[in-house]
């Protein structure tokens, strides 16, 4: 996963998908409400990395960024994960299976109003590669 450099196009259908996989789950000894199985699996992956010493820590949705100059539309952004690297750098990870217009706007505004923050976008392709690598070794991975 690399820092966000471009934003994928929205799906052609324009239909917002309902996620029936939102639920409370326990990861790393914490009970957390995840909006999708992908988020929960990514948290398990981050916990696995933490256990290996590859990252210092991670948190799920710990901070909201506000776009103060915006008066309507997307006014804030709540990243999925805050990840503290071994060297202390903080990166914000966003697990996104599809990119709709609102999500593109949110990420563009994040880059404009909070340019010093690094957002790592985990899209469907990257998640698929992660799943192939980790599903058999990360404890609790959901299908």
Residue 83 to residues 12, 34, 46, 47, 88, Cα–Cα distance (Å): 32, 16, 8, 10, 9
Rounded-to-integer distance, Cα 26 and Cα 43, Å: 10
Q: Report the Cα 24 to chain-centroid distance in Å.
A: 17
pLDDT confidence bin for 6, thresholds 50/70/90: very low
Give the tens place of pLDDT for each residue, 93-113.
Answer: 999 989 999 999 999 999 999
User: Which pLDDT belongs to residue 71?
Assistant: 92
Whole-prediction pTM: 0.85
Residue 7 located in a structural domain: no
Residue 21 located in a structural domain: no
- Expressed as residue numbers, the domain containing 106 is 37-134
User: Which pLDDT belongs to residue 143?
Assistant: 85
5: pLDDT strictly greater than 90: no
Number of domains the chain contains: 1
Q: Which of 113, 89, 99, 138 lies closest to 7 in space, CA to CA?
A: 99
Taking a C-beta distance cutoff of 8 angstroms, is the pair 99, 123 a contact? yes
Rounded-to-integer distance, Cα 28 and Cα 72, Å: 38
Residue 68 located in a structural domain: yes
15: pLDDT strictly greater than 50: no
Residue 20 located in a structural domain: no
User: Which pLDDT belongs to residue 116?
Assistant: 98
Residue 52 located in a structural domain: yes
Give the tens place of pLDDT for each residue, 62-77.
Answer: 999 999 999 999 999 9
As given in the structure block, the two tokens for residue 22 are 């939102």
Residue 124 located in a structural domain: yes
């Amino acid at each position: 996963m690399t820092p966000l450099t471009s934003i994928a196009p929205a799906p052609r259908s324009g239909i917002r998908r309902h996620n029936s996989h939102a639920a409370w789950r326990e990861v790393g000894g914490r009970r957390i409400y995840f909006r999708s199985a992908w988020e929960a699996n990514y948290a398990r992956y981050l916990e696995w990395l933490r256990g290996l010493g590859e990252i210092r820590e991670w948190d799920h949705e710990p901070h909201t960024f506000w776009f103060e100059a915006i008066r309507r539309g997307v006014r804030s952004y709540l990243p999925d994960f805050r990840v503290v690297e071994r060297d202390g750098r903080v990166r914000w990870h966003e697990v996104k299976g599809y990119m709709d217009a609102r999500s593109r706007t949110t990420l563009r505004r994040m880059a404009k109003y909070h340019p010093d923050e690094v957002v790592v976008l985990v899209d469907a392709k990257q998640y698929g590669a992660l799943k192939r690598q980790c599903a058999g070794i990360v404890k609790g991975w959901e299908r």
